[in-house]
Amino acid sequence: MRGTKNGWTLLLLMLAGVVIGGFIGSIASSVPGLDWLNYGQAFGLENPLVLSMGLVVLTFGLTIKITIAGIIGIALAILIYRWI
């Protein structure tokens, strides 16, 4: 199974690493010695973009928060991908 690597596997592992890292960062924010894991920067649309077409109203919004725990999660996901 070592020869069956593809980009989708890497993408899914990286997304899982970001989600798990963000979860760990949010939990660690209340622990005094581990609050640095939740340090990061959020960027994106602060106010959602609303497109009203009478019958249909579409709302677009995207905010990404990158934390240290998320970066560690991405790094672990890449290491796991290389190990598989």
SS3 70: helix
For 6-30, the pLDDT digits (tens) are 889 999 999 999 999 999 999 988 8
Q: Where does the chain have alpha helices with state H?
A: 7-28, 68-83
For the cut 60, the answer to whether the pLDDT of residue 2 exceeds it is no
Rounded-to-integer distance, Cα 82 and Cα 74, Å: 12
Whether residue 72 contacts residue 20, with contact meaning beta carbons closer than 8 Å, is answered with: no
pLDDT confidence band for 4 (50 / 70 / 90) = low
